[in-house]
């Protein structure tokens, strides 16, 4: 007797699970991701400007000139150190370089006319570019971390400045002052020079092949090398660009003060303010992230803090103490946030 075996019952296939892909982010979300912090800094600056304007009877050209001319050097210095930080480095000598260029240019410009002062300004800026490029070259060739190289040079430059002037002194042409930082109530020259520095220097650089190399080196030197980027040359060029901004800041300082001041403490204070402006402006201390517009806006924010506090009747010494605490907090919080990003 044959036993017929019935075919096994087929199990019905499980219904397919349709995975819904997340919707692409909107243009607004992309804008917030890329520029949200920059918009926040700009909004904070506007609020602080209105606050400061409410503290004086007439907020006119003199007050605006005081803000723009007084902040121009810090904004340029923030750009100087920001360029190096984007590559993953740190230039400890930016403040000392400004002190040196200030004293060097003030020493040569004393009792000179406008044309001679302009020529000396160009010479001073070129000197800053060359010296800064040499710092980068020393770090690249020797393999010594640039923070060590620049720290050593930051001690040397104020000493050279002191040898040049021997104390506060030097001078410049009144016409040079008017051209660079404006007259008593003319705020436009400082503003125009700052816009030109961003539009004619940083914007073309950031969009160039060199600019892309800056961010690649800052994100990962090993990956940048494998992608064909000359890491060493890029770092040296970054230092040269940093020197350009340092030279501009030094010459602006000469125009703003009409003298040279070789005190090392001035350079240290400039350095701390510049680092705070860079961090507050959205540049990551580990490199590869950020731009120059944010630090420039942050420089104005930091410059307005003591003026607003004085307008509130706070003692000047207390105002400077509070500003110092704010700078330290900004740097520490910025470093903490970037540590969290790197661990994520």
Share of the chain above pLDDT 90, in %: 56
Long-range contacts of 158-163 (CB under 8 A, 24+ apart): 158/96, 158/99, 158/100, 158/262, 158/263, 158/264, 158/267, 159/264, 160/100, 161/99, 161/100, 161/102, 161/103, 161/104, 161/260, 161/262, 162/103, 162/262
With a CB cutoff of 8 Å and minimum separation 6, the contacts of 141 are 232
Residue 312 CB: number of other CB atoms within 10 A? 10
* Position with higher pLDDT, 289 vs 153: 153
Share of the chain above pLDDT 70, in %: 87
- Does the pLDDT of residue 13 top 70, yes or no? no
For tokens 């010494």, the residue is 317
The answer to whether residues 234 and 217 touch, using CB atoms and an 8 Å cutoff, is yes
d(CA 313, CA 305): 13
Closest Cα to residue 136, out of 233, 274, 270, 278? 233
How much is the pTM? 0.85
Q: How far is CA 284 from CA 40, 140, 289, 315, in A?
A: 17, 22, 5, 34
Any idea which of 62-66, 117-121, 160-164, 324-328 has the lowest mean pLDDT? 324-328
Query: Could you tell me which residues are beta bridge partners of residue 120?
Result: none
- Phi, psi dihedral angles at 260 (to 5 degrees): -120, 145
- Phi, psi dihedral angles at 202 (to 5 degrees): -70, -45
Query: Could you tell me which residues are beta bridge partners of residue 296?
Result: none
Residue 114 DSSP SS3: helix
Q: How far is CA 147 from CA 85, 94, 121, 144, 292, in A?
A: 11, 11, 28, 8, 21
d(CA 214, CA 202): 12
pLDDT tens-digit series, residues 205-243: 999 999 999 999 999 999 999 999 999 999 999 999 999
pLDDT at 30: 64
Q: Give the distance, in angstroms, between the CA of residue 297 and the centroid of all CA atoms in the same chain.
A: 10
pLDDT at 17: 45
Enumerate domains of the chain plus CATH numbers.
60-343 (1.10.3470)
Task: Outline where 187-258 has alpha helix (H).
Answer: 188-196, 203-207, 209-219, 221-226, 231-257
Write the DSSP symbol of residue 169: B
pLDDT at 19: 43
């Amino acid at each position: 007797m044959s036993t017929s075996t019935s075919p096994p019952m087929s199990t019905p296939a499980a219904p397919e699970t349709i995975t819904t892909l997340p919707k692409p982010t909107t243009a607004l979300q992309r804008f917030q991701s890329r520029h949200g912090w920059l918009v926040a800094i700009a909004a904070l600056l506007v609020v602080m400007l209105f606050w400061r304007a409410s503290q004086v009877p007439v907020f006119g050209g003199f007050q605006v000139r005081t803000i723009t001319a007084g902040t121009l050097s810090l904004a340029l210095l923030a750009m100087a150190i920001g360029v190096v930080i984007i590559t993953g480095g740190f230039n400890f000598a930016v403040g000392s370089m400004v002190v040196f260029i200030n004293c060097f240019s003030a020493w040569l410009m004393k009792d000179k006319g406008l044309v001679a002062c302009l020529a000396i300004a160009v010479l001073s800026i070129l000197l800053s570019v060359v010296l800064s490029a040499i710092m980068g070259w020393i770090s690249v060739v020797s393999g010594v971390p640039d923070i060590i190289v620049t720290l050593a040079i930051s001690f040397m430059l104020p000493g050279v400045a002191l040898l040049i002037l021997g104390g506060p002194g030097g001078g410049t042409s009144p016409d040079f002052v008017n051209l660079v930082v404006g007259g008593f109530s003319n705020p436009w020259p400082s503003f125009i020079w700052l816009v030109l520095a961003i539009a004619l220097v940083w914007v073309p650089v950031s969009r160039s092949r060199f600019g892309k190399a800056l961010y690649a080196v800052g994100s990962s030197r090993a990956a940048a090398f494998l992608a064909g980027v000359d890491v060493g040359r890029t770092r040296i060029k970054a230092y040269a660009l940093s020197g350009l901004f340092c030279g501009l800041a030094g010459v602006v300082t000469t125009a703003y003060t009409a003298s040279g001041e070789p005190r090392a403490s001035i350079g240290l204070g400039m350095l701390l303010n510049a680092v705070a402006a860079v961090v507050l402006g959205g540049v990551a201390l580990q490199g590869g992230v950020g731009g120059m517009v944010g630090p420039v806006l942050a420089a104005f924010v930091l410059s307005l803090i003591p003026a607003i506090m004085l307008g509130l009747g706070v003692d000047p010494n207390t105002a400077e103490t509070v500003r110092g605490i704010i700078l330290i907090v900004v740097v520490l919080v910025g470093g903490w946030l970037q540590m969290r990003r790197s661990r994520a």
